[in-house]
Amino acid sequence: MPAVRGATLLGFAIFCGCGGGTGSALLPTGSARIEVVQQQPSSLPLKFPLLSANSGPSGIAVGSDSSYWVTEGSVGKIARVLNTGAVTEFPYRLAHSPSWAASGGGLPYAAWAVDTRDSILAGITAAGVPAEHALPANASPATVFIDSTGIPWLTEPAANAVVNTTNFTISSKYTTFSLPAGSAPASLVQGPDKNIWVTEPGTGAIAKIGHSGSPITQYPLPTGRKPTTIVSYGGYLWFGESKSSGGAYLARMTTAGVLTEYAVPGGAVPQFIAPGPLSAIWYCTNTSQLAYAVIGTKVTFSPAVATLAATVPIVEGKDGNIWFPDSANNSVDVYVVYPITVTPTSIAFTALAQTQTFTVSETHFTGAFTATSSNSAVASVSPGSGRAFSVTANSPGTATITVSDNPAYPKVGNGTVISVTVTTTSISLN
């Protein structure tokens, strides 16, 4: 039976310090309720603890069921994490060290995973039922991608090959596509042309495999380049590149193989990349920095927005935020892209019937905010003009005002909390 932890996510709650400093949160293991703290920049990721100690989370995918599926390589399990923070773990039978996850691409599987050590490919349903198949001996699959027709494609770096499999639920048939010696294929994706595109860090090239299996076309990169993760976005292939002489690029390639390189500020290598919010390519660098590049008429790089515990794969969640595994903290983490800010962050009254206002702002959000009081007998809140709200002191005590951009979380909602104190004794400072 799967193990389950329930958690209640109250939007995203901010407990701000004065001056817009960084908030923090302690998430006790075993807690039935997770108090999630959304920080002001510079931002710290939020953490959802996993159930098994030292589980070794390493791969993550947004499943076709909209859940987050995370491989736990140290305990032979896969975890399903909901936007609410609820975590459920499912054990494998054959895969003792699952390492990489991919979205399911359609029924019956919500997600897929590979086990490099045990040469296993596994699909898992939304209910957590795994279907595991042993690959040919010593296949050692590194990554898996599910194409638009539901066919899994795998990289086998040691064999310099890419493999796909059909009839997975009946009697799997494996087809091998050999790549040049030493190519060590590492990452693959289906391009806008429906072909399969593969990075070859061993030989510094990108390969295109016809969806039917042939032909295979090689696109050598400039001397000294090694490609990292590859994704499809905006009609192009995007991938990171390291330089043998130092420095790094975010690279774009057309389906005809035309390459354009954009130098990454600071020279950190985009090791794992993913399309994400802000019309941007997000990436985790080899120095464990999370950053992004806005893709428009030109490519504009943002400085690192967060420091992660390790260099890890990232995905854009259904909530518009960036999710990733965190083996150092045995958790699944979330970087909230659109924080709400309030001014002031706390309100104090010294007499009844006093009224104060606060204003709300959130980058890229143009809708209406809502505000509610935890104890309207102490302090009530009502909309003012524009993005201002009015708070009135009603009786001595404390309350919190919760401000939200959308009460229909977890789709896109985000929130913040303002502390309110009401006393009836004025204090004079001499």
Q: What is the CATH number of domain 43-335?
A: 2.130.10.10
Q: What's residue 287's pLDDT?
A: 96
**pLDDT band for position 406 (cuts 50, 70, 90):** low
**pLDDT band for position 2 (cuts 50, 70, 90):** low
In DSSP notation, 3-38 reads EEE-----S-B-BPPTTT--------TT-SS---BP
Q: What's residue 29's pLDDT?
A: 27
Quote the CA–CA distance of 81 and 7 in Å, as a whole number.
Answer: 10
Residue 345 pLDDT > 60: yes
Q: What's residue 362's pLDDT?
A: 77
**Angle at the Cα of 273 (from 161 to 301), degrees rounded to 5?**
140
Residue 17 pLDDT > 70: no
Q: Residues 168-197: pLDDT tens digits?
A: 654 567 889 999 999 999 999 999 999 999
Least confident of 62-76, 124-138, 317-331, 416-430: 416-430
Q: What's residue 304's pLDDT?
A: 87
CATH 2.130.10.10 location in the chain: 43-335
Residue 157 phi/psi, 5° resolution?
-60, -40
Q: What's residue 201's pLDDT?
A: 98
**SS3 label, residue 362:** strand
Q: What's residue 338's pLDDT?
A: 72
**pLDDT band for position 414 (cuts 50, 70, 90):** low
Quote the CA–CA distance of 9 and 415 in Å, as a whole number.
Answer: 11
Residue 370 pLDDT > 50: yes
Using CB atoms within 10 Å of the CB of residue 397, give its burial: 0 to 12 exposed, 13 to 18 middle, 19+ buried. middle
Quote the CA–CA distance of 16 and 38 in Å, as a whole number.
Answer: 9
Q: What's residue 206's pLDDT?
A: 98
Quote the CA–CA distance of 126 and 124 in Å, as a whole number.
Answer: 7
Q: What's residue 171's pLDDT?
A: 55
Radius of gyration of the chain measured on its C-alpha atoms? 24
Q: What's residue 13's pLDDT?
A: 27
Residue 310 phi/psi, 5° resolution?
-160, 175
Q: Residues 101-151: pLDDT tens digits?
A: 999 877 789 999 999 999 999 999 999 999 898 887 788 999 999 999 888
Q: What's residue 172's pLDDT?
A: 65
Residue 261 pLDDT > 90: yes
CATH 2.60.40.1080 location in the chain: 340-422
Report the relative pairing of strands 415-422 and 346-349 from DSSP bridges: parallel
Q: Residues 319-328: pLDDT tens digits?
A: 788 999 999 9
pTM of the model: 0.76
More confident residue, 172 or 295: 295
Query: Could you tell me which of 43, 36, 23 has the C-alpha nearest to residue 292?
Result: 43
Q: What's residue 326's pLDDT?
A: 96
Fold for the domain defined by 340-422: Immunoglobulin-like (2.60.40)
CB under 8 Å to 258, separation ≥6 — which residues? none
More confident residue, 213 or 207: 207
